[in-house]
Chain A
């Protein structure tokens, strides 16, 4: 056996897995990696604000409520994005808004995954009556226009108390978004599980006498989980937009700055020529949305087996 043949054999015997291969492909995409960097910066900023609030650090974003200048002062070297009605720095508010948006999108994504993935897997694996019930539930839910559904949930959940915990501000927002947006991931996982359940590795697990729970959660879900990650990255943007819409409609965070609330404030300020609050919030949303979209597409291209073959 030649040296090259031995090398190929060695490589083949080592094998590769979906995640490593996907990461390798992703690293090759320069633009996607830049976008990943942007996303990381937003996440780090949100995390840093959480830490600063927890340890009571007096830094820029946590001091958003302080007066930084005159009311409606235009952008200047002192206040890059100008000030709002109370003379608060728009830059600080924009930075603080990152925390609200990331928190809402993250929590809403996790809620939708926690509901959608197990339901989809159970429906796809068991089929029959269980499947019909779950399909009926999500078909009913998806028949209601999305924004109206979120609005209805947000209005109902707002200021309600559950187990002694009052749902105010962003809690009501991410619960409303999370509870209404699990249908897509549920449908996706159900379809994928239906495809996988007759494959050899599942048949082998059945023949070994594995329990249904073990088959679903230890065998099936890990093999379809890349879809959850792709879906997560793409939905994250939609959830940020949903938070902005809810805040714009007065159903979001009222006490602290969020991008949606800033746009809502700016809407009426535009007529007096105060454009900077609108510009700051829009720019922040634009870069995060763009980065998440490009990175989400790249992630799908790298992890989806069908696209990889092509």
Chain B
């Protein structure tokens, strides 16, 4: 916008006659200047102007976010942004590995009764919601609430009842939260509350003062949760953003628009959100303050992760996300120094990585750093077990598994960066079975696949029909991925039709069990592998998490047994047994586990990768001198 002002200043200067030109030229010049001004004014700037000493984190999101209401989101991009605004009771320690939970809004870790059924949690005092017009307003849902003209009310102090309200919201069936499965059949009285909400006409008609036996607040700073049966993962759930406290005043004030008016207790607050293009958070002045961790794991001090130990956080004044769906523009912005960190696009891999896993001299010249970490994710080609042909023909499913060349897939699509998925639990999880590779479930063996197909034809009673494979995208990546799978399966004599569709259509088809094969993947939200195993539990058939519609009573028994066990060797043994049961029945051909390769500039400090935490912007710091030096460095690089 500064540029626009300059243009109009020049125009005014000319109009005042300071620049003398012959008359016929002046109208043309004037028209040109006005046109140029209009064009430039039409080009929207990327956001607020950056002050010279202001510390701004610049990030890129590859897709638009759906909303910023913590109870009603599950997509990773919304969670990334919302985690800077909202805080749950617990968080993962930023530096320590293996991953460890530490209190965030809680005073301490919970007091757990001997029968493991009652959790008593003390809440920190002196935590305030951010200032917002919803506080102090006596008007319910004023018509001009979106105008942004109302003054901010003083944010009120956080109380234990705000956590109860947040959990009850998730339980409200009219709220349509995707997070309900987290609490399903776990807290005393919560399922009954959910039943009650079915009788209400709308979300707003639900009486949240209605008592839930398992959620009580003896005082303003104590939360007591009573469980129906032991749920050792409760603390992990209380570190999930879905359980973050929400101010009832904000929900009442903004109504359905609450998704774009987040009111949290976190270090940042929403300043600008242009859907599909730009998100900007600014430091929350009402934030209670927090200190950077003083202890980490061995090597953290050498890596510079403890340079800011004990300092107050957040460091940044603003956090900015520019939404760029195409990877190339995002990559170019990173090279220009306009983005602090990025993943490596597959087609730029050779430009970035030299031999022996090192950065190329060109990257080193730019002082770019590489971080790699194993992502707790698994991707697969799933089989719909409810399909009359695929579901009843195990040799056929096994044949498909043996027909896929996973190493070639990883070489072509991920530059050999990912790991072959020999099972469903990713290597980073504590319950990962290191001997799973020897079982040979992910072996590429086309000859064995052909033998199995002969057996499959006998079971089917003739030639196998062509199978349909659904892919959740229509872009080049998915088309090439579909082609690769098709080539692999055609090579062993299987006919496959690929169906490329947009994500909503894909989800609808998978949820209504109207696909035969589908490609998908999942990333764990906690270090417990339960997320992965729940996808094979028969109570969770589609539209639940079990999109394979897989049923195995033996697996179910093990799952139910493991669910109430504390983490330990016995539980891990059960998890591995369940994994083997799934692999034996083959409801999916597991393909790969992601290994993230992230690049960041040397001015981007405290960038230690974390597999489960998202609210990490508060730890990031910018070395302003180094960022300024990069601009000079760019001029010397051809």
Contact = CB atoms under 8 A, between A and B. Distances in A.
Contact of B484 (A86, A261, A272): A86
Interface residues of B, number: 23
Most A C-beta atoms less than 10 A away, residue of B476, B479, B483, B501: B476
A308 B492 CA distance: 63
Given A254-B498, A261-B479, A268 B327 contact: yes
A271 B484 contact: no
A4 to B, nearest CB: 63
Interface string A248-276: 00110011000001001101110110000
Contacts of B480: 85-86, 265
Contact of B483 (A86, A159, A264, A271): A86
Nearest to B480: A85
Contacts of B99: none
Interface stretch (B113-121, B347-355, B538-546): B347-355
Contact of B487 (A65, A264, A268): A65
B499 interface: yes
Interface string B293-330: 00000000000000000000000000000000001100
Contact of B498 (A86, A251, A255): A255
Contacts of A250: 474-476, 479, 500
Interface majority SS (helix, strand, loop, mixed), chain B: helix
A271 B348 contact: yes
B412 interface: yes
A265 B412 CA distance: 14
B476 A251 contact: no
Most B C-beta atoms less than 10 A away, residue of A71, A261, A268: A268
Contacts of A255: 498
Interface in B326-349: 327-328, 331, 345, 347-349
Contacts of A159: 499, 501
A272 B350 contact: yes
Contacts of B482: 254
Nearest to A267: B476
A197 to B, nearest CB: 47
Most B C-beta atoms less than 10 A away, residue of A159, A255, A265: A255
B347 A272 contact: yes
A96 to B, nearest CB: 14
A261 B350 CA distance: 24
Contacts of A272: 347-351
Contact of A264 (B327, B349, B476, B500): B476
Contacts of B499: 159
A269 B347 contact: yes
Most B C-beta atoms less than 10 A away, residue of A71, A85, A267, A271: A271
Contacts of B500: 250, 254
B476 A271 contact: no
Most A C-beta atoms less than 10 A away, residue of B331, B347, B500, B501: B347
Interface string A156-173: 000100000000000000
Given A86-B484, A254-B500, A255-B498, A265 B476 contact: yes
Nearest to B326: A268
A254 B479 CA distance: 7
A86 B476 CA distance: 13
Nearest to B499: A159
A249 to B, nearest CB: 9
Nearest to A271: B347
B402 to A, nearest CB: 20
Contacts of B475: 250
Contacts of A267: 476
A71 B351 CA distance: 17
Interface in B498-542: 498-501
A261 B476 CA distance: 8
Interface string A52-80: 00000000000001000001000000000
Contacts of A271: 328, 331, 345, 347-348, 351
Nearest to A84: B480
Interface string B466-489: 000000001110011011100100
A271 to B, nearest CB: 5
B500 to A, nearest CB: 5
A268 B500 CA distance: 19
Contact of B347 (A71, A264, A268): A268
Contacts of B349: 272
A269 B349 CA distance: 11
A85 B347 CA distance: 11
11 contacts: A86-B487, A159-B499, A254-B482, A264-B476, A265-B476, A265-B479, A265-B480, A267-B476, A271-B331, A271-B347, A271-B351
Given A86-B412, A159-B501, 9 more contacts: A65-B487, A86-B480, A250-B474, A254-B479, A265-B479, A268-B328, A269-B347, A272-B347, A272-B349
